[in-house]
C-alpha cells in the first residue's frame, strides 16, 4: 500500500496580500460580474422550477389539459424545464468564457507570477 504523501507545493503560500487583491478594482469588478450573473440566474431558475412544482402539485386540471393528441400542458411544461436547464447552462458557459475567465486569469497570473 502506498504511504507516500505528496509534498505540498503551494505556489502562493507566504506573503501574498490577499486583502489587497480582494479590494483591488479588478477583483471587485470580477466579483460583481460573477454575482451579477449567478445570483439573479439562480433566483430565476429556482422560481421557474417552483412554479412548475406548484402547478403540478395544485393545478391538476390545468396540467392535464390536452394540447394536441395526448400531449398535455404538464408534459410540455416538464420538457420546458429540460430546455431551460440546457439554455441556462449554455448562457453561463458563454458568459464565463467571455466575462469571467480573462479577468480571473489576469489576477491569478499576477499573484502566482509574484512568487515565480
Q: Which residues bind another protein (CB under 8 A)?
A: 1-6, 9-13, 16, 18-19, 21-22, 27, 30-31, 34-35, 38, 41-42, 45-46, 49-50, 52-54, 56-58, 60, 63-64, 66, 68-72, 74-75, 78, 81-82, 85-86, 88-89, 92-93, 96, 101, 104-105, 107-108, 111-112
Helix (H, G, I), strand (E, B) or coil at 70: coil
Task: Give the CA distances from residue 40 to residues 28, 44, 84, in Å, rounded to whole numbers and listed in that order.
Answer: 18, 6, 15
CB of 113 to another protein, least distance (A): 10
Helix (H, G, I), strand (E, B) or coil at 113: helix
Nearer to another protein (CB atom), residue 25 or residue 82: 82
CB of 66 to another protein, least distance (A): 8
CB of 107 to another protein, least distance (A): 5
CB of 99 to another protein, least distance (A): 12
Task: At 36, list the grid cell.
Answer: 451579477
Q: Which residues of the chain form beta strands (DSSP E)?
A: 66-68, 71-72
Query: What residues are paired with 72 via a beta bridge?
Result: 66
Backbone conformation region of residue 69, classed left if phi is above 0, alpha if psi is from -120 to 50, else beta: left
Amino acid at each position: 500500500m502506498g504511504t507516500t504523501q505528496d509534498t505540498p507545493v503551494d505556489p502562493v503560500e507566504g506573503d501574498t496580500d490577499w486583502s489587497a487583491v480582494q479590494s483591488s478594482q479588478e477583483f471587485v469588478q470580477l466579483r460583481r460580474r460573477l454575482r451579477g450573473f449567478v445570483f439573479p440566474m439562480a433566483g430565476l431558475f429556482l422560481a421557474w422550477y417552483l412554479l412548475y412544482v406548484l402547478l403540478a402539485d395544485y393545478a391538476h386540471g390545468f396540467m392535464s389539459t390536452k394540447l394536441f393528441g395526448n400531449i398535455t400542458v404538464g408534459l410540455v411544461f416538464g420538457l420546458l424545464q429540460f430546455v431551460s436547464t440546457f439554455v441556462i447552462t449554455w448562457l453561463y458557459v458563454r458568459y464565463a468564457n467571455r466575462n469571467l475567465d480573462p479577468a480571473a486569469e489576469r489576477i491569478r497570473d499576477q499573484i502566482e507570477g509574484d512568487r515565480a
